[in-house]
Amino acid sequence: MTYIEQLGSNAKAAETAAASASASTKNRALAAVSKALYDNMELIIRENAKDLRAAAENGMSESMQDRLRLDEKRIAGMAKGVDEIINLSDPVGDIISGCTRPNGLRIVKTRVPLGVIGIIFESRPNVTVDAAALCLKAGNAVILKGGKEAINSNICLCNIMRSAVESAGLPADVIQLVEQTSREATAELMRLNQYLDVLIPRGGSGLIKAVVNQATVPVIETGTGNCHVYVDSSADLEMAVNIVDNGKTSRPSVCNAVESLLVHRDCAEKFLPMIVERFRAHNVKIYGCERTAAILGDSVEIATDEEYAKEFLDYIISVRVVDSVDEALAHIRKFGTHHSECIVTNSLNNAAKFQREADAAAVYVNASTRFTDGGEFGLGAEIGISTQKLHARGPMGLNELTTVKYLINGDGQIR
């Protein structure tokens, strides 16, 4: 049995305990995880520092190093996220619907765990805790495969969580980490059909594409966010500046950050200099169309389809001046990734049209795309943002980590 197969076997053995655990048992395990994160802050930061040193030596960008970094505030935030999951209702056993058939059969549709979940993700080690806590609360066993750039942080976090859940009476193997960082280990995990019920990739477009193309295990696609803000002709421009700036610069390395800005021609000459002035604090680089360059000058590099399609994850943005809401929507249909889209407008008609026609998991009117997040949506932490339409869409919380089972009771009926 290979190393990856052993992890799968361990998870399968722990699956029943996770699925049958009471809400109080799962909450007790999660409370132990939260406390352990606080108690081990110094150890976590020390192990994270090893990853940060390696990242700097390997030339990782500042924005990507920010994704990797853990400090007391972020660790406390991770623990708070676990506490929020404790306070959420346990979905396992919820009755979705029921009926009594004419032949007397009583049929109930109820929520049950997915089973064993594999999660492949990149540099953000907070995902290690978010994913494990959500999977546990929903009654699943999980195998985590983080990127090699966060290996020390992830091993530390996983060991802390395993000890915590074991202290609460659950098998440590409800949470496991693939400690091998090779591509071969990742490839084997993608084909672990005997043990995995579903595989969830969380990261950049390259990772997600590789998993979707190579996996034989069922995949829920998440993450890639070429998110747009369209500033309509009727927009409150000060509001638009705040929304675009927040979407682009508050944390550019995350999937709900704004990557593309579309501006109606009637307000472009006034709005574009306003947003550029705000962008100066972060030296945001702009790729734009000819009309954008005519307004802003030589600081703009002419954008191609490559820039309009790109998820920059950095202080870079693509800009296009458009003639109408229809042209903005056509641009989004061509280049969007079905994640999050926003219109800033005072037109009820254009707001309704945009929300109706923009094909994305989350469509905003007059609010930042940065709210596309499980915590902000009241779901607690999240596994990721699903950009597909099956089996889940948008922020994936507890309900999205369950499936259904039909329970049928009779008194001797035959067909």
| Contact between 319 and 301 (Cβ < 8 Å) | no
pLDDT over 90 at 61, yes or no: no
Mutual angle of helices 265-279 and 237-249, in 10-degree steps: 50
pLDDT over 80 at 296, yes or no: yes
221 pLDDT band (50/70/90 cuts)?
A: confident
Average pLDDT, rounded, for the chain: 95
**pLDDT of amino acid 394:** 92
Percent of the chain with pLDDT over 70: 99
| Contact between 369 and 358 (Cβ < 8 Å) | no
All residues at 6 or more sequence positions from 380 whose CB lies less than 8 Å from its CB, including other chains: 81, 84, 85, 87, 88, 133, 134, 137, 374, 397, 398
Q: Report the pLDDT averaged over residues 36-42.
A: 98
**Count of C-beta atoms within a 10 Å radius of residue 32:** 21
Does residue 208 sit in helix, strand or coil?
A: helix
pLDDT over 80 at 270, yes or no: yes
All residues at 6 or more sequence positions from 395 whose CB lies less than 8 Å from its CB, including other chains: 361, 362, 372, 373, 374, 377, 379, 382, 384, 385, 386
pLDDT over 80 at 94, yes or no: yes
pLDDT over 70 at 380, yes or no: no
**pLDDT of amino acid 64:** 81
**pLDDT of amino acid 279:** 97
Using a CB cutoff of 8 Å and minimum separation of 24, what contacts does 180-187 make? Answer: 180/3, 180/4, 181/147, 181/148, 181/151, 185/3, 185/4, 185/145, 186/120, 186/145, 187/214
Q: Report the pLDDT averaged over residues 175-195.
A: 95
| Contact between 361 and 385 (Cβ < 8 Å) | yes
